[in-house]
Structure 1
């Protein structure tokens, strides 16, 4: 069965919006003021397209949830929420009759199933990583998924994009577990180095060595 295709307005940004994520944006360009006006009036979604050195070809459909603040000059502070990742099939810049771009997108499929062992390993490393990063996070271990804290885990933009493109929760979980296994020893080593630096200059009580 083919993946669904839809025509979406585009908002290219140097960031990855993950499904389910709440994303706050400050809107100041005329074309995106127009996009938000259209989205608010018509209740339509739009696509945040990941821009690296050029358009990556992937993005996430997002919904405008709330306009938090309207400025006198037309700027906006808005709250959005990520819906579904997509692959860009065509790019019209601008859309007919609009200031902003748009195009056809193909929504990615998603296989949500993972094993119990994978889930427990993921939660174990996730808690340790967040602790080492001093990020206070209370979460339900049963409902947490690969997207839940992805912006808090020290991933590069390119790695976040790689995660977004994966069409299986098991693949995303394995990707993050491997990331944890690489990064946790590095963070611990840095913390140990910081402690050693703090101790320099203080009087030390050293045990005698027997040799």
Structure 2
């Protein structure tokens, strides 16, 4: 399916199923949100990296306008829906302050590999333990998918975007597993380095070597 959607480029990656709260203050996006609220239609958030709007983004539903300020600014709740690809950007939309895009929606496989996902979750929890971070994913482990945990695996913005561009759950899980295999030893070494620095200058109870 191909259609036109209003777009709100942001320097973030939004995943399907993700809850996202935004503060809207620019006139063009105040217009966009008010129209989406009136028409009950979604809008797109393509990811912007280094001042460049990329072709992949996520369609989001406006869940609620939680607060409207005196100057028209607003706080909103949205939820990611599905991934789109921009075919053509429409910068000048008649009578609109915002831009839009002609998009399609690539087929997206969401079937997990349970064994692989278990390994991914184990790696993420090891990472969180090393960093002294606590995270409740609000779902049983057997219901979690890559989109649910990707923001918590220590990915850079570019890496999060690369994962958004993978359209098979197995590929996304493999991507996360490889990333964690690379980052966990680095974090462990950083923790060891921190401990060595903290010990410096303190009395040490060390056993001598027998020569």
Scaled by the length of structure 2, the TM-score of the pair is: 0.94
Are 2:74 and 1:76 aligned? yes
Q: Are 2:13 and 2:47, in contact at CA under 8 Å, matched by a contact in 1? A: yes
Separation (CA, whole Å) in 2 of partners of 1:81 and 1:134: 28
Partner of residue 130, structure 1 = 128
Q: Please give the secondary structure, in 1, of the residue aligned with 2:7.
A: strand
Partner of residue 203, structure 1 = 203
Report how far residue 101 of structure 1 moved.
0.6
Residue in structure 2 matching 1:29, options 26, 29, 37: 26
Report how far residue 48 of structure 1 moved.
0.3
Partner of residue 9, structure 1 = 6
Report how far residue 105 of structure 1 moved.
0.7
Separation (CA, whole Å) in 1 of partners of 2:146 and 2:113: 14
Separation (CA, whole Å) in 2 of partners of 1:51 and 1:183: 25
Unmatched tracts of structure 2, length 5 or more: none
Partner of residue 106, structure 1 = 104
1:134-145 matched pairs, under 5 angstroms = 134-139=132-137, 140-145=140-145
Partner of residue 51, structure 1 = 48
The CA deviation string for residues 7-55 of structure 1, in whole angstroms up to 9 with x for no partner, is 1100011111111111111111100000010011111100001111311
Are 2:152 and 1:152 aligned? yes
Q: Are 1:16 and 1:157, in contact at CA under 8 Å, matched by a contact in 2? A: yes
Q: Are 1:92 and 1:102, in contact at CA under 8 Å, matched by a contact in 2? A: yes
Report how far residue 76 of structure 1 moved.
0.9
Q: Are 1:9 and 1:95, in contact at CA under 8 Å, matched by a contact in 2? A: no
Q: Are 2:114 and 2:142, in contact at CA under 8 Å, matched by a contact in 1? A: no
Q: Are 2:124 and 2:152, in contact at CA under 8 Å, matched by a contact in 1? A: no
Provide the alpha-carbon RMSD of the alignment. 1.3
Separation (CA, whole Å) in 2 of partners of 1:169 and 1:136: 25
Separation (CA, whole Å) in 1 of partners of 2:152 and 2:122: 16
Separation (CA, whole Å) in 1 of partners of 2:160 and 2:28: 27
Unmatched tracts of structure 1, length 5 or more: none
Separation (CA, whole Å) in 1 of partners of 2:154 and 2:113: 25
